[in-house]
Amino acid sequence: MINRNLYLEKIQKATTRSPITALLGPRQCGKTTLARAFAKSQKSTFFDLESMPDQRRLQNAEMVLGALSGLVVLDEIQVMPELFGVLRVLVDRPNQSARFLILGSASPEIIKNASESLAGRVEFIELSGFDLFEVKISAWKDLWLRGSFPPSFLARDDEDSFIWREGFIRTFLERDIPQLGINIPAQAMRRFWTMLAHYHAQAWNASEFARSLGVTDKTIRSYLDILTGTFMIRQLQPWYENIGKRQVKTPKIYFRDSGLLHNLLDIRDWHNLLGHPKVGASWEGYALEQILQTVRPRQAYFWGVHSGGELDLMFTQGKHKFGVEIKFSEAPVVTSSMKSAIEILNLAHLWVVYPGEHTYPIDKKITVLPLKHITELPVK
């Protein structure tokens, strides 16, 4: 079993501070395993809300939950969103001794009234799949190819991993989306998802997607919001500067899990990946997720102008702005785009993250950095 002590410590602190802790992340990323490991060390009661017997136990939820003490875990809470109102009533009682740990596979924004019901009473922790520093650094190729979902990464071989991911995609489209009360045909969402794979790491163009799929811009935006709210897609927002150039003002779209991207592109093994036209884009998304999980900035952006200058990632720490370029290259070089970004955005430093072995400077404010050394980036 892969050690996830960092998240266990976060849950410990959050449940001490707040009456409700919400552990959110995509299905199958390890939330239930983590919650059970945390609950094992203390008095606890566990409810699996996808289990019909547990749903029946909670027919009178206020009475049942109100009688409990210790840690109460509610797994897959998006199945019973009416429990948010019940939890609000319970934690507002002066004699309430229980602490609630709720697990969900959808963001609060996609579960109606969730964030409003629990405002000021809940602390959110977002859990992703495995990251580079939870697995061995030497396993970075497998993590990139197979993605970060534990069953996919830990599969016996690449074929088993690919088959597991295919089943995940089918279940997500046919069961998980309808379970949230969203009525979109699975076939339509599959076409949209596959089309997104070919636009991975590019700026979003709603009209182009809408024309291709024969739906309205509003409909296509709702599809994207659903995939974003279920932790499948990351919308990296643009940063604006007051400059005399037309800047890109639409988000860039990334699959948060490289393994799912590879399934939709029919990339089955390392040889297929290296020879695929989207290998550079895939590397960019994979490295971006690893960087964001390591640095954990409050806000992250990309920057671009229509004349060609761009920066893959920009974040702030304190009063300083930092930049990251992601290159699938054995020997990255300084580009005019990098120099423009440093000058226009007034960056304190820019790193070029690549799949190599050595860290070295290539300009006064530019350093080439291997992915396995991203812990050297400034962390708040």
Give the residue among 313, 312, 310, 372 at the shortest CA–CA distance from 339.
Answer: 310
Q: At 69, is the secondary structure helix, strand, or coil? A: coil
Which residues are CB-contacts of 347 (< 8 A; sequence separation ≥ 6)? 314, 321, 322, 323, 341, 365
Which pLDDT belongs to residue 112? Answer: 64
Measured CA distances, 97 to 19, 66, 107 (Å): 9, 9, 27
Q: How confident is the model at residue 306 (pLDDT cuts 50, 70, 90)?
A: confident
pLDDT at 303 over 80: yes
pLDDT, tens digit (0-9, with 9 covering 90-100), for 106-165: 887 767 666 677 888 899 999 999 999 999 889 999 999 999 999 999 999 999 999 999
Query: How many Cα atoms occupy the beta-carbon half-sphere of 336 within 13 Å?
Result: 3
Which pLDDT belongs to residue 57? Answer: 95
Structure token pair of residue 304: 């671009």
Q: What percent of the chain has pLDDT over 70?
A: 98
Average pLDDT, the chain: 92
Give the residue among 77, 104, 85 at the shortest CA–CA distance from 23.
Answer: 104
Q: How confident is the model at residue 248 (pLDDT cuts 50, 70, 90)?
A: confident
Measured CA distances, 177 to 47, 163, 233, 326 (Å): 21, 20, 14, 33
Rounded CA separation 217/224 (Å): 11
Rounded CA separation 342/345 (Å): 6
Position with higher pLDDT, 39 vs 185: 39
Which pLDDT belongs to residue 46? Answer: 97
What value does the mean pLDDT take over residues 184-210?
Answer: 92
Which pLDDT belongs to residue 240? Answer: 82
- Containing 365, the helix (H) or strand (E) segment is none
pLDDT, tens digit (0-9, with 9 covering 90-100), for 150-164: 999 999 999 999 999
pLDDT at 1 over 80: no
Full-model pTM? 0.92
pLDDT at 183 over 90: no
What value does the mean pLDDT take over residues 307-325?
Answer: 90
Domains defined for the chain, CATH in brackets: 5-126 (3.40.50.300), 137-376 (1.10.10.10)
Which pLDDT belongs to residue 115? Answer: 67
pLDDT, tens digit (0-9, with 9 covering 90-100), for 32-74: 999 999 999 899 999 999 999 999 999 999 999 999 999 999 9
Which pLDDT belongs to residue 182? Answer: 80
Which pLDDT belongs to residue 235? Answer: 97
What value does the mean pLDDT take over residues 346-352?
Answer: 96
pLDDT at 351 over 70: yes
Which pLDDT belongs to residue 312? Answer: 97
